[in-house]
Amino acid sequence: MATSTVADIVRLGPVIPVLAFDTPEQGEHVSRALHAGGVKVLEITLRTAAGLEAIERAAQIAPDIVVGVGTITKPEHCALAKKAGAKFGVSPGLTREIHQASLDAGLPLLPGVMTPTDIIVAMELGYEIVKFFPAVPAGGLNMLQAFHGPFPTLKFCPTGGITSESAINFLALPNVVCVGGSWLTPKAALAAQDWAEVTRLARAASELARPVR
């Protein structure tokens, strides 16, 4: 699927699931279940050893799936993820080294920010869309509303502590383009291999209303 920029990718759906898998096989099952529920964009994190192979498998599921790599904390993660088939990267924070590595790898990056200083650094490097992380512990809706004044053109993907109930409130903000969340893959459903439940949650997330921007 032709999605060359983060701006293209974040508009493919209101929710980007944040995923960590115990095994590549689990990752493939969950990715298929999410896609069946209409979720086209996945963030598969490098928090477990299964991450890279899960990305490789998920990227081959369907032509319209867009798989990203999450928890980029080292520059070398960018090239590894690109080789595995990732179409974009997500980091909890941002350094100039990670920024340069993403450019070198040809991996569009959604960098994490939490403070005004983080935001200014990201904007200096040319980012127009950033991840606000950890969203709820860092101030949630009130913080995003406060950011809109000094940074009126910047768009956010808040991630961290967002639930199926609160997601709609974040999506209603003028500076939010999508949200990230882990509620689409509850631990109980994964333990029971209840892929139908994952698909049900994915379908509900895909149908969340958001203003057209």
Q: Does residue 1 form part of some domain?
A: no
Q: Which domain holds residue 80?
A: 6-204
* Averaged pLDDT score across all residues of the chain: 96
Residue among 210, 198, 208 at smallest CA distance from 37: 198
Q: Does residue 211 form part of some domain?
A: no
CB-based contacts of 75, cutoff 8 Å, min separation 6: 95, 97, 98, 100, 101
Q: Does residue 166 form part of some domain?
A: yes
- What confidence tens digit (pLDDT) does each residue in 2-32 have? 557 999 999 999 999 999 999 999 999 999 9
Instruction: Give the model's pLDDT for residue 124.
Output: 98
Q: Does residue 213 form part of some domain?
A: no
Q: Does residue 209 form part of some domain?
A: no
Instruction: Give the model's pLDDT for residue 199.
Output: 98
Q: Does residue 93 form part of some domain?
A: yes
The CATH number for 157's domain is 3.20.20.70
Q: Does residue 210 form part of some domain?
A: no
**What is the rounded distance in angstroms from the CA atom of residue 31 to the CA atom of residue 129?**
25
Report the number of distinct structural domains present in the chain: 1
What average pLDDT does this structure show over 42-56? Answer: 97
Query: Is residue 213's pLDDT more than 70?
Result: no
Query: Is residue 212's pLDDT more than 60?
Result: no
- Percent of the chain at pLDDT above 90? 96
Query: Is residue 34's pLDDT more than 60?
Result: yes
Instruction: Give the model's pLDDT for residue 4.
Output: 79
Residue among 153, 161, 168 at smallest CA distance from 205: 168
What average pLDDT does this structure show over 147-151? Answer: 98
Q: Which residues are catalytic?
A: 43, 131
Query: Is residue 87's pLDDT more than 60?
Result: yes
Q: Tell me the CA distances in angstroms from 78 to 20, 64, 98, 173, 175, one per residue in order.
A: 17, 22, 8, 31, 27
Contact 67, 42 (CB under 8 A): yes
Q: Does residue 212 form part of some domain?
A: no
What average pLDDT does this structure show over 49-77? Answer: 97
* pTM given for the model: 0.95
What average pLDDT does this structure show over 177-197? Answer: 97
Instruction: Give the model's pLDDT for residue 179.
Output: 98
pLDDT confidence of 1, banded at 50, 70, 90? very low
Q: At what angle do helices 96-105 and 76-84 cross, to 10 degrees?
A: 30
- What confidence tens digit (pLDDT) does each residue in 93-134 have? 999 999 999 999 999 999 999 999 999 999 999 999 999 999
**What is the rounded distance in angstroms from the CA atom of residue 51 to the CA atom of residue 70?**
9
210 versus 119: the higher-pLDDT residue is 119
